[in-house]
């Protein structure tokens, strides 16, 4: 971390090829600690889930074929934040020193006296073929590998990057791996063939390597450009030229996944979205993270739970904030302070979060609804289930639970321990979310903020299917004039995931 009063420190970090499971332990540590994260388009979905809630996340990439943030502007942002004493994470897809312009950025930092650290990442030229069952070296097929940029020169002249020695590449006795070469593939093929590379040599193009929507297209060197064009292969892709490409069918290990080919938008807060996004990705979905809310604790005085014989926690989000209020006492309190009270959780996910803090709730209704919690309390403890109750909830929460308890003679105190505030995803993320096959909503606030951010219900594609976590969220959709296509029977993330999967399976099996 930066010295007091001195410049900040910049970390040039490789985020790997896209699968967040391939992030290094050091990368995860730095994501969690950074004040500012400057990230590229090729940084995989979910990579930023561990960022601090107050961290500044700045997109400095380029959407394929669209406008890019100029490199000079990226360097100015990096320098400006570091000179202000901040810890800056420059997060790049793959490895910063493999076609990542990391060397250029390190030189700029050195010229300005900014301390920096390089954290390597797994490069796509090795990882994408591996996920496609292609070993870039094989004792029987290829004993060497060359990594080559396939990006066109800025003036568009000549296939691939300027200065490539096509004769040397054609004669290279091993595997050639071209990065960023989809648009330049006809020129790459022509350069290799004209220099004498065997036209019958196997070639594989791996699109979206390591991501859920990865696919592999194979052909001979002579035919690959036409096959890739007909298959509409898009960036990011890597091209593998050599005998090892023929091993893709023999060694392929990724099994077909039920949500393959579908795009699912996740609108819940980034800090809470990682589990849902990860599960969707494991099922093969292309996940669009478009968080339209952020959860933040409401500061307040230390909490003394001793006057209460019943404590109700109405969401998993409120658990951490509740325990922060306990810990604010002097000396700090923990789970032992709740020994004299019954504890009720509004649903299974809230119960699981309480368990992580050492509390196994006495009452957990089958449905994650305030109405269900009231019924469960009455079933367990009678018409007057407590003398005095504390309800820890979100600011602006429904009054169903406190009103029902008061009607039964319970003295109730409501404690707002957290709030949800609007957050604006990048325009690219919002546009992708509005066109997704499925859009998931986990609370009324995600409904309201998503619709407000995209400009209303009409901005949602007519083919998008809306997935609601439960009746309250569904009611918010209907208030906006939208009918949910899917509603979870179990009103938590696992239930939402199961409902979405069942719907997708039904649609795929329909004639």
- Alpha-carbon separation of residue 189 from 4, 88, 455 (angstroms): 55, 40, 45
Biggest distance spanned by C-alpha atoms of the chain? 89
Cis peptide upstream of residue 30 (ω within 30 degrees of 0) = no
Q: Measure the CA–CA gap between 458 and 247, rounded to whole angstroms.
A: 48
DSSP 44: P
> How many Å apart are CA 269 and CA 430, to the nearest integer?
14
User: For residues 427-451, b (16+ Cβ closer than 10 Å) or e, as one string?
Assistant: eebbebbbbbbbbbbbbbbbbbbbb
Task: Establish whether 413 is a catalytic residue.
Answer: no
Distances (CA, A) of 149 to 180, 188, 291: 6, 10, 34
Buried b (16+ CB within 10 A) or exposed e, 357-378: eebebbbbbebbbbebbbebbe
Q: Which residues pair with 265 in a beta bridge?
A: 288, 439
Preceding peptide of 235 cis, ω within 30°: no
186 pairs with which residues across the strands? Answer: none
List 19, 40, 437, 492, catalytic entry: 40
Region of 294 please: left (phi>0), alpha (psi -120 to 50) or beta. Answer: beta
Identify the DSSP state of 163.
T
Distance CA 240, CA 146 (A): 10
CA 300 – CA 241 distance, rounded (Å): 62
Provide the Cα torsion 195, 136, 174, 14; round to 10°.
70
Judged by phi (left if over 0) then psi (alpha if -120 to 50, else beta), residue 282 lies in alpha
Instruction: Provide the strand spans (E) within 373-444.
Output: 388-394, 411-422, 438-441
d(CA 389, CA 372): 17
Contact 372, 365 (CB under 8 A): yes
Is 72 an annotated catalytic residue?
Answer: no
CB 373 within 8 Å of CB 363 = yes
Helix (H, G, I), strand (E, B) or coil at 487: strand
Catalytic residue positions? 40, 62
């Amino acid at each position: 971390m930066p010295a007091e009063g001195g410049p900040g420190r910049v970390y040039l970090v490789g985020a790997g090829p896209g699968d967040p499971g391939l992030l290094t332990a050091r990368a995860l540590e730095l994501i969690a600690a950074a004040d500012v994260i400057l990230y590229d388009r090729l940084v995989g979905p979910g990579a930023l889930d561990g960022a601090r809630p107050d961290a500044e996340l700045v997109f400095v990439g380029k959407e394929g074929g669209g406008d890019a943030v100029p490199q000079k502007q990226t360097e100015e942002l990096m320098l400006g934040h570091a000179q202000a004493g901040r810890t800056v994470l420059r997060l790049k897809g793959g490895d910063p020193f493999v076609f990542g312009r990391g060397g250029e950025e390190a030189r700029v930092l050195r010229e300005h006296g900014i301390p920096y650290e390089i954290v390597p990442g797994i490069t796509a030229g090795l990882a994408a073929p591996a996920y496609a069952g292609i070993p870039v070296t094989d004792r029987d097929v290829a004993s060497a590998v060359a990594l080559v940029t396939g990006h066109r020169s800025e003036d568009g002249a000549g296939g691939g990057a300027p200065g490539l020695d096509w004769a040397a590449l054609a004669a290279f006795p091993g595997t050639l791996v071209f990065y960023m070469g989809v648009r330049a593939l006809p020129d790459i093929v022509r350069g290799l063939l004209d220099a004498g590379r065997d036209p019958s040599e196997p070639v594989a193009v791996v699109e979206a390597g390591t991501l859920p929507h990865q696919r592999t297209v194979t052909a001979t060197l002579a035919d690959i450009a036409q096959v890739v064009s007909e298959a509409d292969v898009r960036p990011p892709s890597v091209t593998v030229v050599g005998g090892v490409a023929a091993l893709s069918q023999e060694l392929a290990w990724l099994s077909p996944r039920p949500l393959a080919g579908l795009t699912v938008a996740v609108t819940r807060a980034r800090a809470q979205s990682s589990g849902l996004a990860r599960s969707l990705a494991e099922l093969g979905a292309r996940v669009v993270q478009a968080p339209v809310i952020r959860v933040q604790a409401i500061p307040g005085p230390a909490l003394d739970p001793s006057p209460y014989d019943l404590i109700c926690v109405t969401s998993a989000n409120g658990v951490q904030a509740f325990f922060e209020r306990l810990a604010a006492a002097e000396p700090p309190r923990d789970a032992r302070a709740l020994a004299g009270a019954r504890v009720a959780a509004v649903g299974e996910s809230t119960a699981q979060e309480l368990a992580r803090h050492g509390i196994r709730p006495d009452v957990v209704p089958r449905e994650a609804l305030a109405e269900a919690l009231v019924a469960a309390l009455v079933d367990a403890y009678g018409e007057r289930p407590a003398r005095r109750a504390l309800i820890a909830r979100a600011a602006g929460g429904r009054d169903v639970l406190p009103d029902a308890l008061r009607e039964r003679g319970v003295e109730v105190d409501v404690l707002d321990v957290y709030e949800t505030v609007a957050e604006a995803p990048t325009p690219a993320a919002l546009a992708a979310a509005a066109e997704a096959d499925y859009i998931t909503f986990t609370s009324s606030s995600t409904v309201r903020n998503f619709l407000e951010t995209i400009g209303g219900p009409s901005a949602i594609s007519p083919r998008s299917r809306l997935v609601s976590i439960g009746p309250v969220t569904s009611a918010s959709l209907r208030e906006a004039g939208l009918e949910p296509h899917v509603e979870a029977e179990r009103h938590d993330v696992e239930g939402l995931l199961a409902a979405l999967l069942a719907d997708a399976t039904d649609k795929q099996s329909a004639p």
